[in-house]
Each structure stands twice: as structure tokens, then as C-alpha cells.
Amino acid sequence: MRINLKVLSVIIAVLIMAAVAKSQPIGTDPTIRDTVTIQSMTTFSPNSGFVPVYFYNDQPLAGIELTMTYSTTDVMIDSFSFVGSRVENYSLKGADQIAANSLTVYTYALSEGLVASGNGLLGYLFFSFIPGITPQSVSIDTMTITILDREFSTAFSDEFANAFSPVINPGVLTIQSGSCCLGDRGNIDASPDDILDIADLVYLVDFMFREGPEPTCMAEANVDGSIDEVLDIGDLVYLVDFMFRDGPQLPSCP
């Protein structure tokens, strides 16, 4: 009897998810501790913000489950994006909101092979909130919660489906009011040093053409200083001209 490969992949995925769901983290990583880092970010946007989530693993992984929660009801989970991440091309991945302020992110290796050792992006956690929100700092951490006999937690699993707990570095989304644009425009990736470099160009290209995260400060991304404040191809051309063709200086922030 021939079995459709797609059906077989789904069956394997279900078995993996069931095994991880039933098993508790059983100790620690036997070598260098794997880590999950929820980066801290600041947003000046009137209604949204995001935080990148990174992970490190020193041995190949068969699965990742990350359950996150945050400290206030003033903001809402909007979405989670795997675009540009280390697991972007994995077919079995997703993000499910399991409670009002909780989200489980997961990915499991199928035909793509195990998640290779390395360090990099898992994805972006996006938030939205009502304009006029009180400036505040929102703590983002991991949690364990049981819903209908299903435990949601944070665990990595190795190639033998043994689960273990990574080290967690919590993050903070700081919501501020006022202008986010400082000095000259162009700090599109919101780097703390406020220096324009190739990372800003990559960030802009990802946002415009690869469904990457929206710039934290749209005024910084409006590099041509257009009056309508609309981000378009003109901003990209202006930035490339400035960086590589001795184009005009970037306009100052308003």
C-alpha cells in the first residue's frame, strides 16, 4: 500500500506534537545551555509595538515550543511573524493565542531536517493598543499553563524527542509618548546608537518587500522627508543614493 508523503508528514507531525505535549521538560541541556531571549524594545507609535525573539541551540533540535505572557491588559497580542527567522522555511510552525495575554509559538522539524545549531531570530511578537495609552513598560516572560489537559510551556526537544528547558531572558516593551524621531532621519531599525548603517537598509527592504516588521518609528523611515509622511519606494531610493552614490543629506527630524 502506498502512503501519500504529505499525509505521512502530517501523521508524523501529530505524533511529535503529542509526544511533546505529554512530556515535561526532563532536566537541563547536557552541554552549553540553550537560550531564548525576548529582546527589549521601545515604541513611540500611537497604537502598536513589537519585540524580536531570538534563540540559541548548540545541538540540533526536533521541536521548539515557546509560551509567552505579558504583564498588562492595556495591550493586546496582534500576531507573531516568522519572516526572516531561522525557522521561516519550516512547514509545521505556528502561533496560537491560548489566553487573553498569552501566546504559544511552536515549530517542529519534518522533511526540512532538524533545526541546526546556531543563534538567531525565532520571530517577531506584535502588539497593538488603544491610542492615548498611558506610557508604561510591559514585561514579557514565559509561562506554563494547562488548558483542557494540554500543558503549554517552553521546551526544546532534541533529535530523540527528549524535552528540556532552555534558559529564558525576559524582555520589556516600553511604550512612550512624544516624537520618536531624533536628529537626522534614517535610524529605521531603532538601534540604540542612532547610527545609520546597512542594517537600516536591510530593515527597510524587508518591510517593503518581504513582509518584515513595521519600523518602530515611521518618521525615521520617512527618509526623504515627504510631507505626506507616506513610506514608499522614494524613501528606499533616497536612502540608497545617500549611502552609496553621494546623494543628498538625510533630512532632519521634525
Domain ranges of the chain: 26-175, 179-254
Per the CB < 8 A criterion, the answer to whether 186 and 223 are in contact is: yes
pLDDT for 155 equals 95
Model pLDDT for residues 39-52, shown as the tens digit of each residue? 999 887 778 889 99
Residue 178: Cβ within 10 Å count: 7
C-alpha cell belonging to residue 130: 488603544
Burial tier of 65 (Cβ tally within 10 Å: 0-12, 13-18, 19+): buried
pTM over 0.85: no
- HSE (side-chain half, CA atoms, 13 Å) at 59: 17
The Cα–Cα gap between 39 and 191 comes to 12
pLDDT for 250 equals 87
Options 1.20.1340.10, 3.30.310.50, 2.60.40.680, 3.30.930.10; CATH of 26-175: 2.60.40.680
Beta pairing partners, 49:
127
Cα-flanking dihedrals φ and ψ of residue 209, to 5°?
-125, -10
Reference 169, options 24, 21, 34, 30; nearest CA is 34
Reference 76, options 48, 46, 54, 98; nearest CA is 48
pLDDT for 79 equals 92
Model pLDDT for residues 82-122, shown as the tens digit of each residue? 999 999 999 999 999 998 899 999 999 988 999 999 999 99
Per the CB < 8 A criterion, the answer to whether 190 and 40 are in contact is: no
pLDDT for 4 equals 47
Per-residue pLDDT of the chain (254 residues; tens, 9 = 90+): 344 444 444 444 444 554 544 444 555 676 789 999 999 998 877 788 899 999 999 999 999 999 999 999 899 999 999 999 999 999 999 999 998 899 999 999 988 999 999 999 999 999 999 888 889 999 999 999 998 888 999 999 998 888 999 999 999 999 987 667 778 888 888 887 778 899 999 999 998 898 888 887 888 888 888 877 778 899 999 999 999 988 888 888 86
> What HEC string does the chain produce?
CCCCHHHHHHHHHHHHHHHHHHCCCCCCCCCCCCEEEECCEEECCCCEEEEEEEEEECCCECEEEEEEEECCCCEEEEEEECCCCCCCCCCEEEEEEEECCEEEEEEECCCCCCECCEEEEEEEEEEEECCCCCCEEEEEEECCEEECCEEECCEEECCCCCEECCEEECEEEEECCCCCCCCECCCCCCCCCCCCCHHHHHHHHHHHHCCCCCCCCHHHHCCCCCCCCCCCHHHHHHHHHHHHCCCCCCCECC
pLDDT for 118 equals 96
